[in-house]
Amino acid sequence: MKLLKLVPDDTNIDFLKWRTWAFGISLLLMVASVGLVATKGLNFGVDFIGGQMIRATFTESTSAPVTELRETVAKLGYGDPTIQRFGAENQVSIRMKLPDGADKNPELANTMATKITETLKAGHPDVRIDGVDSVSGKVSEELFSTGMRALLAAMAGVSIYIWFRFEWQFGVGAIWSLLHDVTLTFGLFALTGWEFDLNIIAALLTIIGYSLNDTVVVYDRIRENLMKFRKMEMASLLNLSVNETLSRTVMTSVSISLPLIILVLFGPDVIFGFSAAMAFGIVVGTYSSIYQAAPILIWLKVGSHSFVPTDDAGSKAERIDDNFGAKP
């Protein structure tokens, strides 16, 4: 049987040739992402800004009467609703700010939800209420801060692990490429206006996990080659390592992307943002292992001297000396 080869044998692409360009473009995209988040902002769901979200499906209609809904809900006097289609054309989410004083008296939030659902039911007999989420300001602040803390802790935690398993330069490379992936994903959400909720934090954390998975595989090969080819120039060594692991990178990215793409296309609408974020993250994460995590090692002056066998403390001390003396 002839087996399928996603990457031909003896592929040798000079990836690192474009490292300065790639780095520049990435930097630009990161700045643009931060800018977008700062100016346009993220479309936070009720998880993070508090408020009420009612999801409804108009079972007998082909599309939901968004404009009309906006007017009728606004007439109830609770302020203007944010109405979005999610998933199918006949599904909407209606987001409201919680009424003043609802923190003290949850009854007010209750009444608002009841009034809105009753109005919907009165105007549209085919409406089906799929869910009501009501999150108070205090809880949403907590959810936001714990979510952000989880992100930072995960990034710091895995980078420290890399630092211990490899060398500090690898730790820096890892955290930089994670920062890169997370920033660009934030940018994507600011650009598209997709709802940013708790699930997206879960997606970001998974992206961190996978981007790192990729980085670790490349780093592992770099370490191996550093010990094997002591004299090789760093850029060629990185190229060799990336090329050697290329068929694995392609195969794994394709395998992981397959279920994600299917989740985006056919998966539950509720996790569209989640799946889309992860699919994006896999692509960006794979790119960043090659074009961010690897070249940083050149700039941080990693060489084979970094991996002279470390049997005892004495040789470690020598190695530090080496670091100063060596000219790559």
Partner 1 sequence: MLDFPRWRVWMLNTLIIFGVLFAIPSLLPAQMRDQLAQFVPTPTINLGLDLAGGSHILLEADTSQLAETRLEALEDGVRTAMRRADPQIAIADVSRADGQLSFTVSDVSKVDAAREALIPLTSNATGSRDWNIGVNDGNWLIVTPEGTGNEAALDQAMDTAKDVIDRRINALGTLEPTIIRQGDNRIVVQVPGLDDPAALKALIGKTAKLEFKLVDEMADPDQTAQGKARVGSQVLPYPDNPSGLPYIAVRRLGGISGDKLEKADPTFDSQTNQPAVTIQFDSEGGQKFARMTQQNVNKLFAIILDGQVISAPQIREPIFGGVSQISGSFTTESANALSISLRSGALPVDLKIVEERSVGPDLGADSIRRGVLAAVIGTTAILVLMFLVYGRFGMYANFALVINIAMILGVMALVNATLTLPGIAGFVLTIGAAVDANVLINERIREELKRGRRIVQAIEVGYKEASRAIFDANSTNVIAAVLLFFFGSGPIRGFAVVLMIGIVTSVFTAVTITRMWVSRWVKRTRPHELTI
Question: Which 234-253 residues touch partner 1, going by CB under 8 A?
Answer: 244-245, 247-248, 251-252
Single residue of 116, 222, 271, 298 touching partner 1 by CB under 8 A: 271
The whole-angstrom separation of Cα 16 and Cα 270 is 40
Residue 258 interacts with partner 1 (CB under 8 A): yes or no:
yes
What does the block give as tokens for 223?
A: 């370490």
63: phi then psi, degrees, rounded to nearest 5: -140, 150
- β-bridge partners, 127: 58
State phi, psi for 192 to the nearest 5 degrees. -85, -20
Residue among 73 and 203 whose Cβ is closer to partner 1: 203
- Could you say whether residue 93 binds partner 1 (CB under 8 A)? no
Q: What's the half-sphere exposure (Cβ side, CA atoms, 13 Å) at 292?
A: 27
Note whether 172 binds partner 1 by CB under 8 A. no
| 91-96 vs 51-58, strand pairing mode | antiparallel
Residues 279-298 that bind partner 1 (CB under 8 A): none
Task: Tell which one of 210, 280, 287, 291 touches partner 1 (CB under 8 A).
Answer: 210
- Site membership for partner 1, residue 57 (CB under 8 A): yes
Nearer to partner 1, 22 or 293 (CB): 293
Q: Does 68 bind partner 1 (CB under 8 A)?
A: no
- The dihedral through the CA atoms of 274, 277, 283, 287 has a sign that is negative
Supply the minimum distance, in Å, between the C-beta of residue 300 and partner 1. 19
Q: How far is the CB of 237 from partner 1 (least distance, A)?
A: 16
Any contact of residue 141 with partner 1 (CB under 8 A)? no
Residue 141's H or E segment, with its range, is helix 137-165
Min separation Cβ 265 and partner 1, Å: 8
Using DSSP's 3-state secondary structure scheme, residue 91 falls into strand
Q: Contacting partner 1 (CB under 8 A), which of 115, 213, 235, 301?
A: 213
Half-sphere exposure of 200 toward its Cβ, with a 13 Å CA cutoff?
Answer: 27
* By the rule CB under 8 A, 99 interacts with partner 1: no
Does 4 interact with partner 1 (rule: CB under 8 A)?
A: yes
The distance in angstroms from the start CA to the end CA of the chain is 46
